[in-house]
Chain A
Amino acid sequence: SQTIHQWPATLVQPVGSPLSLECTVEGTSNPNLYWYRQAAGRGLQLLFYSVGIGQISSEVPQNLSASRPQDRQFILSSKKLLLSDSGFYLCAWSGQRGRVGYTFGSGTRLTVV
């Protein structure tokens, strides 16, 4: 069966420090991968998506970047965190026909102080 792993679960980082959040999927190949952010009191915002290795699309201009070095690995990064980067980050995957829905990771609570 397919599983998705996301870590760390919680993270407290100072302003200006770098960030690396990792997401891996098991039990499937060539998934579509997604990073979402959920800010307090707001809905989910799609940050990045990837339909293949090295293929990254950004939805909104921001202080973050994403990479997909392997088929089932998706990394969210920042060189210098801002206070506004705080939030709950969710990784998700879908099959190539994403209309059947996503499977989400358990999320990372990031607090920038």
Chain B
Amino acid sequence: AQSVTQLDSHVSVSEGTPVLLRCNYSSSYSPSLFWYVQHPNKGLQLLLKYTSAATLVKGINGFEAEFKKSETSFHLTKPSAHMSDAAEYFCVVSDREGSTLGRLYFGRGTQLTVWP
């Protein structure tokens, strides 16, 4: 079975400091992993995805994530936070390999606050 655990429900950082949003996953198969961002009352936007290519994945807006199979982790990082990064972030794991449906399983989300 697939599942995702986001270890922090809230993260607060100062503008210009690094961001770390933690995610651990469980999957019976080689997973595809995603990070989505959601600004208030908006839809979800794909930040980046891992689909069994390079383990270090670069996404939009300076974010990146590293797939670590031994740790079953896919933490999201950014070297320097910007005020516009304040949003909710979701870590997501996909359905099993070969599935036509391609269901996604969402973590509960991490609310990122950026202080000036």
Contact = CB atoms under 8 A, between A and B. Distances in A.
Contacts, number: 66
A104 B95 contact: no
Contact of B102 (A32, A104, A106, A107): A32
B13 interface: no
Identify whether the interface residues of B are mostly helix, strand, loop, or mixed. loop
Interface residues of A, number: 26
A43 B41 contact: no
Contacts of B43: 6, 90, 104-107
A58 to B, nearest CB: 13
Contacts of A88: 41
Contacts of B42: 106-107
Interface residues of B, number: 25
Interface string A15-32: 000000000000000001
Contact of B49 (A90, A97, A100): A100
A101 to B, nearest CB: 5
Interface string A21-48: 0000000000010000000001110100
